[in-house]
Protein backbone atom coordinates (compact mmCIF):
# COMPACT_ATOMS: atom_id res chain seq x y z
CA UNK A 1 0.00 0.00 0.00
CA UNK A 2 1.15 3.51 -0.78
CA UNK A 3 2.24 5.25 2.40
CA UNK A 4 0.30 8.39 3.28
CA UNK A 5 2.84 9.74 5.73
CA UNK A 6 6.46 8.85 5.15
CA UNK A 7 9.26 9.78 7.51
CA UNK A 8 12.81 9.34 6.23
CA UNK A 9 15.95 9.47 8.35
CA UNK A 10 14.48 12.05 10.71
CA UNK A 11 16.90 13.54 13.24
CA UNK A 12 16.32 16.26 15.77
CA UNK A 13 19.05 17.57 18.02
CA UNK A 14 18.54 20.31 20.59
CA UNK A 15 21.44 22.53 21.46
CA UNK A 16 21.69 24.20 24.82
CA UNK A 17 24.32 25.64 27.10
CA UNK A 18 24.68 22.26 28.77
CA UNK A 19 25.50 20.50 25.52
CA UNK A 20 23.34 18.82 22.94
CA UNK A 21 20.47 16.39 23.23
CA UNK A 22 19.64 14.03 20.40
CA UNK A 23 15.91 13.71 20.93
CA UNK A 24 15.18 11.86 17.69
CA UNK A 25 17.84 9.67 16.07
CA UNK A 26 17.56 8.68 12.43
CA UNK A 27 13.98 7.52 12.42
CA UNK A 28 12.17 6.22 9.33
CA UNK A 29 8.68 4.79 9.12
CA UNK A 30 5.48 4.91 7.11
CA UNK A 31 1.84 5.37 7.98
CA UNK A 32 -0.95 4.19 5.69
CA UNK A 33 -4.02 6.27 4.94
CA UNK A 34 -6.79 5.68 7.45
CA UNK A 35 -4.52 3.94 9.95
CA UNK A 36 -4.52 4.66 13.64
CA UNK A 37 -0.82 4.67 14.27
CA UNK A 38 0.51 4.54 17.80
CA UNK A 39 3.90 5.83 18.85
CA UNK A 40 4.69 4.44 22.27
CA UNK A 41 7.59 5.03 24.57
CA UNK A 42 8.43 6.08 28.09
CA UNK A 43 8.75 9.74 28.91
CA UNK A 44 11.93 11.16 27.47
CA UNK A 45 11.87 8.68 24.59
CA UNK A 46 11.40 11.49 22.08
CA UNK A 47 7.76 10.84 21.15
CA UNK A 48 6.60 14.42 21.60
CA UNK A 49 9.51 15.77 19.59
CA UNK A 50 8.81 13.21 16.89
CA UNK A 51 5.13 14.12 16.60
CA UNK A 52 5.98 17.84 16.58
CA UNK A 53 8.26 17.19 13.63
CA UNK A 54 5.32 15.71 11.71
CA UNK A 55 3.71 19.14 11.39
CA UNK A 56 7.00 20.98 11.68
CA UNK A 57 6.23 22.66 14.98
CA UNK A 58 9.78 21.46 15.53
CA UNK A 59 12.10 21.88 12.58
CA UNK A 60 13.92 18.58 12.00
CA UNK A 61 17.71 18.81 12.09
CA UNK A 62 17.78 16.51 9.09
CA UNK A 63 15.56 14.06 7.28
CA UNK A 64 12.38 14.31 5.27
CA UNK A 65 8.67 14.13 5.97
CA UNK A 66 6.23 13.41 3.16
CA UNK A 67 2.48 13.77 3.49
CA UNK A 68 0.50 12.53 0.53
CA UNK A 69 3.68 12.50 -1.53
CA UNK A 70 4.49 16.15 -0.75
CA UNK A 71 7.67 16.96 1.15
CA UNK A 72 6.78 19.15 4.14
CA UNK A 73 10.36 20.10 4.84
CA UNK A 74 10.69 21.80 1.45
CA UNK A 75 7.63 24.05 1.76
CA UNK A 76 7.77 27.82 2.11
CA UNK A 77 6.44 29.40 5.31
CA UNK A 78 3.16 30.24 3.58
CA UNK A 79 2.72 26.80 2.03
CA UNK A 80 3.50 25.20 5.37
CA UNK A 81 0.71 27.16 7.06
CA UNK A 82 -1.65 25.83 4.41
CA UNK A 83 -0.35 22.28 4.87
CA UNK A 84 -0.81 22.51 8.64
CA UNK A 85 -4.53 23.15 8.19
CA UNK A 86 -4.63 19.61 6.85
CA UNK A 87 -2.90 18.22 9.95
CA UNK A 88 -4.88 18.73 13.14
CA UNK A 89 -3.36 18.29 16.56
CA UNK A 90 -4.75 17.72 20.04
CA UNK A 91 -2.75 17.97 23.23
CA UNK A 92 -2.42 16.56 26.72
CA UNK A 93 -3.49 19.85 28.27
CA UNK A 94 -6.15 20.59 25.63
CA UNK A 95 -4.77 24.08 24.87
CA UNK A 96 -8.11 25.78 24.43
CA UNK A 97 -8.39 29.55 24.29
CA UNK A 98 -9.47 30.29 27.84
CA UNK A 99 -10.98 33.69 27.06
CA UNK A 100 -13.26 32.34 24.33
CA UNK A 101 -16.35 30.29 24.81
CA UNK A 102 -16.68 26.77 23.44
CA UNK A 103 -18.26 27.61 20.10
CA UNK A 104 -15.76 30.41 19.42
CA UNK A 105 -12.95 27.97 20.17
CA UNK A 106 -14.32 25.58 17.58
CA UNK A 107 -14.65 28.49 15.12
CA UNK A 108 -11.01 29.49 15.60
CA UNK A 109 -9.41 27.37 12.84
CA UNK A 110 -12.18 28.50 10.50
CA UNK A 111 -11.36 32.15 11.32
CA UNK A 112 -7.75 31.42 10.46
CA UNK A 113 -8.86 29.91 7.17
CA UNK A 114 -11.01 32.97 6.46
CA UNK A 115 -14.38 31.24 6.55
CA UNK A 116 -17.44 33.51 6.89
CA UNK A 117 -18.64 33.82 10.48
CA UNK A 118 -22.16 32.55 9.91
CA UNK A 119 -20.89 29.53 7.98
CA UNK A 120 -18.25 28.87 10.63
CA UNK A 121 -20.75 28.96 13.49
CA UNK A 122 -23.08 26.55 11.73
CA UNK A 123 -20.25 24.08 11.14
CA UNK A 124 -18.99 24.51 14.71
CA UNK A 125 -22.45 23.70 16.05
CA UNK A 126 -22.62 20.51 13.95
CA UNK A 127 -19.23 19.43 15.26
CA UNK A 128 -20.25 20.10 18.83
CA UNK A 129 -23.20 17.79 18.18
CA UNK A 130 -20.75 15.17 16.92
CA UNK A 131 -18.68 15.31 20.11
CA UNK A 132 -21.80 15.50 22.27
CA UNK A 133 -21.32 18.99 23.67
CA UNK A 134 -23.90 21.07 21.81
CA UNK A 135 -25.47 22.31 25.03
CA UNK A 136 -22.12 23.68 26.22
CA UNK A 137 -21.63 25.96 23.22
CA UNK A 138 -21.82 29.13 25.28
CA UNK A 139 -19.77 27.85 28.23
CA UNK A 140 -16.15 28.82 28.80
CA UNK A 141 -13.38 26.18 29.00
CA UNK A 142 -12.84 26.91 32.70
CA UNK A 143 -16.35 25.62 33.35
CA UNK A 144 -15.73 22.25 31.68
CA UNK A 145 -14.24 18.97 32.92
CA UNK A 146 -11.07 17.56 31.39
CA UNK A 147 -12.94 15.13 29.18
CA UNK A 148 -15.27 17.87 27.96
CA UNK A 149 -12.30 20.12 27.19
CA UNK A 150 -10.72 17.39 25.10
CA UNK A 151 -14.00 16.95 23.25
CA UNK A 152 -14.02 20.65 22.45
CA UNK A 153 -10.42 20.35 21.26
CA UNK A 154 -11.45 17.45 19.03
CA UNK A 155 -14.38 19.43 17.60
CA UNK A 156 -12.01 22.35 17.02
CA UNK A 157 -9.51 20.19 15.20
CA UNK A 158 -12.23 18.66 13.02
CA UNK A 159 -13.48 22.10 11.99
CA UNK A 160 -10.62 22.51 9.54
CA UNK A 161 -11.48 19.16 7.93
CA UNK A 162 -8.01 17.66 8.32
CA UNK A 163 -6.83 14.41 6.74
CA UNK A 164 -4.48 13.74 9.62
CA UNK A 165 -4.95 14.06 13.36
CA UNK A 166 -1.97 14.08 15.70
CA UNK A 167 -2.72 13.25 19.34
CA UNK A 168 0.03 14.18 21.78
CA UNK A 169 -0.71 12.26 24.99
CA UNK A 170 -4.31 13.30 24.47
CA UNK A 171 -5.66 11.08 27.24
CA UNK A 172 -2.79 11.26 29.71
CA UNK A 173 -4.44 13.93 31.85
CA UNK A 174 -7.76 12.07 32.00
CA UNK A 175 -9.13 9.38 34.29
CA UNK A 176 -9.53 5.83 32.91
CA UNK A 177 -13.28 6.16 32.31
CA UNK A 178 -12.91 9.44 30.39
CA UNK A 179 -9.89 8.05 28.53
CA UNK A 180 -12.07 5.22 27.26
CA UNK A 181 -14.75 7.59 26.00
CA UNK A 182 -12.24 9.89 24.27
CA UNK A 183 -10.55 6.89 22.62
CA UNK A 184 -13.94 5.67 21.44
CA UNK A 185 -14.61 9.12 19.98
CA UNK A 186 -11.25 9.07 18.16
CA UNK A 187 -12.04 5.68 16.73
CA UNK A 188 -15.44 6.90 15.60
CA UNK A 189 -13.83 9.89 13.89
CA UNK A 190 -11.33 7.61 12.20
CA UNK A 191 -14.12 5.47 10.78
CA UNK A 192 -16.59 8.26 10.00
CA UNK A 193 -14.23 10.70 8.30
CA UNK A 194 -11.39 8.38 7.30
CA UNK A 195 -8.91 10.58 9.15
CA UNK A 196 -5.46 9.09 9.66
CA UNK A 197 -4.64 9.34 13.35
CA UNK A 198 -1.24 9.35 15.01
CA UNK A 199 -1.41 8.64 18.72
CA UNK A 200 1.48 9.45 21.03
CA UNK A 201 1.27 7.68 24.36
CA UNK A 202 3.20 6.02 27.14
CA UNK A 203 0.33 3.65 27.89
CA UNK A 204 0.16 0.27 26.21
CA UNK A 205 -3.55 0.13 27.02
CA UNK A 206 -4.20 3.13 24.73
CA UNK A 207 -2.36 1.46 21.86
CA UNK A 208 -4.23 -1.81 22.40
CA UNK A 209 -7.54 -0.03 22.58
CA UNK A 210 -7.49 1.86 19.29
CA UNK A 211 -4.30 1.51 17.26
CA UNK A 212 -3.87 -0.64 14.18
CA UNK A 213 -0.12 -0.11 13.93
CA UNK A 214 2.49 0.83 16.45
CA UNK A 215 6.04 2.12 16.63
CA UNK A 216 8.11 1.63 19.77
CA UNK A 217 10.46 4.44 20.65
CA UNK A 218 13.28 4.34 23.16
CA UNK A 219 16.02 6.91 23.77
CA UNK A 220 15.15 8.68 20.52
CA UNK A 221 15.50 5.51 18.47
CA UNK A 222 12.81 3.57 16.70
CA UNK A 223 13.04 0.08 18.16
CA UNK A 224 10.35 -1.68 16.19
CA UNK A 225 7.22 -1.14 14.13
CA UNK A 226 4.42 -3.43 13.14
CA UNK A 227 0.78 -4.15 13.77
CA UNK A 228 -0.43 -4.06 17.33
CA UNK A 229 -1.18 -7.79 17.23
CA UNK A 230 2.38 -8.56 16.16
CA UNK A 231 3.77 -6.46 18.96
CA UNK A 232 1.51 -8.11 21.51
CA UNK A 233 2.21 -11.67 20.35
CA UNK A 234 5.88 -11.47 19.67
CA UNK A 235 7.70 -8.34 20.70
CA UNK A 236 11.16 -8.56 19.13
CA UNK A 237 13.15 -5.90 20.93
CA UNK A 238 13.88 -5.43 24.60
CA UNK A 239 12.11 -2.07 24.59
CA UNK A 240 8.97 -3.61 23.14
CA UNK A 241 9.06 -6.50 25.61
CA UNK A 242 9.28 -4.10 28.50
CA UNK A 243 6.25 -2.19 27.27
CA UNK A 244 4.18 -5.27 26.56
CA UNK A 245 5.00 -6.90 29.88
CA UNK A 246 4.43 -3.71 31.80
CA UNK A 247 0.72 -4.22 31.24
CA UNK A 248 0.93 -7.71 32.73
CA UNK A 249 1.72 -9.09 36.09
CA UNK A 250 4.07 -7.84 38.69
CA UNK A 251 6.10 -10.93 39.22
CA UNK A 252 9.20 -11.01 41.27
CA UNK A 253 12.08 -12.96 39.81
CA UNK A 254 12.08 -16.43 41.29
CA UNK A 255 15.28 -18.28 41.70
CA UNK A 256 15.98 -21.24 39.44
CA UNK A 257 12.65 -21.03 37.69
CA UNK A 258 12.18 -20.69 33.99
CA UNK A 259 9.27 -18.57 32.96
CA UNK A 260 7.61 -18.14 29.60
CA UNK A 261 4.95 -15.84 28.28
CA UNK A 262 2.31 -17.54 26.15
CA UNK A 263 -0.04 -15.56 23.96
CA UNK A 264 -3.10 -16.83 22.16
CA UNK A 265 -5.86 -15.29 20.13
CA UNK A 266 -9.53 -15.84 20.90
CA UNK A 267 -10.18 -18.70 18.49
CA UNK A 268 -7.25 -20.83 19.64
CA UNK A 269 -8.42 -20.72 23.22
CA UNK A 270 -10.77 -23.64 22.98
CA UNK A 271 -8.27 -26.40 23.72
CA UNK A 272 -7.40 -26.90 27.38
CA UNK A 273 -3.69 -26.50 26.69
CA UNK A 274 -2.42 -26.19 30.22
CA UNK A 275 -4.32 -29.27 31.28
CA UNK A 276 -2.99 -31.16 28.30
CA UNK A 277 0.70 -30.42 28.85
CA UNK A 278 0.39 -31.27 32.49
CA UNK A 279 -1.10 -34.64 31.57
CA UNK A 280 1.30 -35.18 28.69
CA UNK A 281 4.48 -34.66 30.72
CA UNK A 282 3.21 -35.69 34.10
CA UNK A 283 4.50 -32.51 35.72
CA UNK A 284 2.43 -29.50 36.67
CA UNK A 285 3.15 -25.95 35.48
CA UNK A 286 2.45 -22.95 37.59
CA UNK A 287 0.31 -20.17 36.14
CA UNK A 288 1.77 -16.94 37.46
CA UNK A 289 -0.45 -14.59 35.53
CA UNK A 290 -3.24 -14.71 32.99
CA UNK A 291 -5.27 -12.04 31.29
CA UNK A 292 -7.38 -11.40 28.23
CA UNK A 293 -7.13 -8.15 26.35
CA UNK A 294 -9.21 -6.72 23.56
CA UNK A 295 -6.95 -5.60 20.78
CA UNK A 296 -8.66 -4.03 17.81
CA UNK A 297 -11.85 -5.76 18.81
CA UNK A 298 -10.28 -9.25 19.01
CA UNK A 299 -9.72 -11.09 22.24
CA UNK A 300 -6.04 -11.76 22.85
CA UNK A 301 -4.94 -13.77 25.84
CA UNK A 302 -1.64 -13.92 27.63
CA UNK A 303 -0.27 -16.12 30.38
CA UNK A 304 2.96 -16.27 32.23
CA UNK A 305 3.90 -19.81 33.18
CA UNK A 306 6.53 -21.13 35.51
CA UNK A 307 8.00 -24.31 33.99
CA UNK A 308 9.26 -27.36 35.88
CA UNK A 309 12.90 -27.22 36.90
CA UNK A 310 13.79 -30.14 34.63
CA UNK A 311 15.33 -28.57 31.52
CA UNK A 312 14.34 -31.51 29.36
CA UNK A 313 10.65 -31.38 30.24
CA UNK A 314 10.60 -27.61 30.05
CA UNK A 315 12.05 -27.68 26.52
CA UNK A 316 9.48 -30.23 25.47
CA UNK A 317 6.67 -28.11 26.87
CA UNK A 318 7.87 -25.05 24.97
CA UNK A 319 7.99 -27.08 21.79
CA UNK A 320 4.50 -28.43 22.43
CA UNK A 321 3.11 -24.91 22.83
CA UNK A 322 4.90 -23.72 19.72
CA UNK A 323 3.45 -26.65 17.77
CA UNK A 324 0.01 -25.47 18.82
CA UNK A 325 0.78 -22.14 17.12
CA UNK A 326 0.84 -20.17 20.30
CA UNK A 327 3.18 -17.24 20.85
CA UNK A 328 5.90 -18.35 23.24
CA UNK A 329 8.78 -16.35 24.59
CA UNK A 330 11.11 -16.58 27.49
CA UNK A 331 10.68 -14.07 30.28
CA UNK A 332 14.02 -13.11 31.72
CA UNK A 333 14.68 -11.14 34.84
CA UNK A 334 11.34 -9.55 34.51
CA UNK A 335 10.38 -7.59 37.53
CA UNK A 336 7.17 -5.68 37.06
Interface with another protein (CB under 8 A) = 55, 57, 80-85, 87-89, 91, 93, 95-101, 108-109, 111-113, 140-143, 153, 160, 166
CA dist 260 to 111, 191, 245, Å?
Answer: 57, 37, 12
Q: How far is the CB of 302 from another protein (least distance, A)?
A: 37
Closest by CA position to 257, among listed 195, 202, 310: 310
| Three-state secondary-structure class, residue 254 | coil
Q: What are the two backbone dihedrals, phi and then psi, of residue 175, each rounded to the nearest 5 degrees? A: -75, 165
Q: Based on CB atoms, which residue is closest to another protein, 83 or 273?
A: 83
Q: Based on CB atoms, which residue is closest to another protein, 43 or 309?
A: 43
Q: How far is the CB of 81 from another protein (least distance, A)?
A: 4
Q: Based on CB atoms, which residue is closest to another protein, 165 or 331?
A: 165
Q: Based on CB atoms, which residue is closest to another protein, 158 or 222?
A: 158
Q: Based on CB atoms, which residue is closest to another protein, 111 or 271?
A: 111
Distance of alpha carbon 197 from alpha carbon 36, whole angstroms: 5
Q: How far is the CB of 115 from another protein (least distance, A)?
A: 12
Q: How far is the CB of 286 from another protein (least distance, A)?
A: 49
DSSP secondary structure code for residue 316 in this structure: H
Q: How far is the CB of 139 from another protein (least distance, A)?
A: 9
| Three-state secondary-structure class, residue 226 | strand
CA dist 257 to 79, 291, 303, 318, 321, Å?
Answer: 60, 21, 16, 14, 18
Amino acid sequence: MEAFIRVENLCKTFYSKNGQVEAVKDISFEIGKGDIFGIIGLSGAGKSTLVRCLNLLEKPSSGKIYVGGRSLTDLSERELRGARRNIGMIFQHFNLLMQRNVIDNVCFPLEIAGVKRSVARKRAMELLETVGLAEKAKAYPAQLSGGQKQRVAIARVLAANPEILLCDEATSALDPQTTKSILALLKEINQKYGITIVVITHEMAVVQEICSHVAVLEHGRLEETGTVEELFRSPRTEAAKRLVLKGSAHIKAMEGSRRIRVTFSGHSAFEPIIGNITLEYGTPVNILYADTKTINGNAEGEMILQLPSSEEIADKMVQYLKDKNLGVEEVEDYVG
